[in-house]
Amino acid sequence: MKISPKVWRNGELIDWNDARVHVMSHVVHYGSSVFEGIRCYNTSQGSAVFRLTEHMQRLVNSAKIYRMDSPFSLEQFCEATLELIRQSGLDECYLRPVIFRGLDEENPAFGVYPLNNPVESYIAAWEWGKYLGEEAIEGGIDACVSSWTRITSNSLPAMAKAGANYMNSQLIKMEARLGGFAEGIALDDRGYVSEGSGENIFLVNNGKLVTPPLGAAILPGITRDSVIHIAREMGIEVIETTVQRSALYIADELFFTGTAAEISPIRSVDRITVGSGKRGEMTKRLQDEFFKIILAERPAPNGADWLTFVNDTGEKQTVTAI
C-alpha cells in the first residue's frame, strides 16, 4: 500500500509520521470526530477527485451538527485536498479528511463537555483498492443481517458522518466477518432494512430500483445519490421506501454503494442466494455508467460537475460520451 508522505494539518503540510495527537485528546476518550471518505481516480484526463465539493460540504455539515467550529471553509478544505494530492506522488488515492476535538496541552480540559477542547483538522491520503475485494465488483459478496440494530437518529444523528457512529458499524462488521460473511446489513429500531456497516443498500425488483429512505437512520451517501441520478437518467424508476428484511431474500438483485465499496453486488444474504447468485444485469449497467463517469469517459447526469481535476489549468474540462 502506497501512502502519501505528507498529511495536511490545520493549514500546513507535515510529514506522515508527525501526524499525531495526545493520548488525552477528547477524541480518544469520547469519539468526538467527524470525517469523510473520498476517492481520487486516475482518469482519461488526469487525476480527478469524485464529488469533492459534496463530500466536503457533508464534512462541514457534520462538524456543524456537533458544534465543531473549524476555522477552515469549504473552499479551503477542497484546495487543501488538491494540494495534498499534488504533493503525494499518487495518481489515484483514497482521502480521509477528519475534524476532531484535541487537547490544549497548556490548558487541558477533561470530561465529556467538549467545548473547551481545540478543534483540529487533518487530511490524509493513501492508495486503497476495492474495499470489499477486487472480485466483489463482478462476483459479488456474501452478507448477513446483523443482530445489532442501527443507531437511531435521535440518539446519534445519522446525517453526520461521525466517528462515534462507527462503533456501531464495527460491531456489525465484526459479527459478519467472524460469521464467515464479507459484510453485515443492519436493521433500524423498527426492524426495517437500514444499511451496511459502511455502505448504503439497493434492491432491484421487477426492473425498479428500491432503497431505504433518508429517514431510515442512514447516512446520506454521496455514491447513493450518484446511483439514483444515474438510474433516473437511464429511465429506471427509483423508489425510496421502507424495506422489510425478508425483501432482501427475494430481491432480483442487491448491491451496496459507498465511496470505498463503489457499487458492489450482494450474491447472498444469510446464506440465501439472491437472484441468480451473481451480479445482476441492472447492477452491471449501473456499474458501467458509474465507472465511465468517474474515469471521465462520459459526463455526469444533467451536466453536473462531479469531477475536480487535480491539475486543472482553469479551462473547462469537456467530457463527451464514448
Give the CA dihedral 35, 89, 127, 200, nearest 10 degrees.
40
Considering the segment(s) 136-299 as one domain, its CATH architecture is Alpha-Beta Barrel (3.20)
The HSE-up count of residue 103 (CA atoms within 13 Å, CB side) is: 18
Residues of the chain with pLDDT under 70: 130-134, 313-322
**Domain boundaries along the sequence of the chain:** 6-126, 136-299
Domains 6-126 and 136-299 share a fold: no
Number of neighbouring beta carbons within 10 Å of residue 15: 9
Query: In this structure, what C-alpha cell is assigned to residue 259?
Result: 465511496
Query: Which residues 6+ apart lie within 8 Å of 88 measured at CB?
Result: 4, 5, 6, 125
Structure confidence at residue 320 (pLDDT): 37
Query: In this structure, what C-alpha cell is assigned to residue 275?
Result: 437472484
CA 170/CA 2 separation, integer angstroms: 25
CA 157/CA 101 separation, integer angstroms: 18
Q: Which residues are catalytic?
A: 161
Q: Determine how β-strand 238-240 pairs with β-strand 208-211.
A: parallel
Query: Which residues 6+ apart lie within 8 Å of 32 measured at CB?
Result: 26, 66, 68, 100, 101, 114, 117, 163, 164
Considering the segment(s) 6-126 as one domain, its CATH architecture is 2-Layer Sandwich (3.30)
List, as one string, the DSSP characters of 104-136.
Answer: -SSS---SS--TTSPEEEEEEEE----TT-TTH
The residue assigned the cell 463527451 is: 320
Structure confidence at residue 95 (pLDDT): 98
Q: Which of 213, 221, 206 is nearest to 239 (CA)?
A: 213
Give the CA dihedral 208, 209, 214, 215, nearest 10 degrees.
40
Q: Angle between the 74-88 and 52-65 helix axes, to the nearest 10 degrees?
A: 130
Residue-wise pLDDT tens digits, 38-89: 999 999 899 999 999 999 999 999 999 999 999 999 999 999 999 999 999 9
Residue-wise pLDDT tens digits, 276-311: 999 999 999 999 999 999 999 999 999 999 999 999
Q: Which of 31, 180, 14 is nearest to 100 (CA)?
A: 31
Query: Are the beta carbons of 104 and 118 closer than 8 angstroms?
Result: yes
Structure confidence at residue 321 (pLDDT): 35
SS3 assignment, position 244? strand
DSSP type of residue 213: -
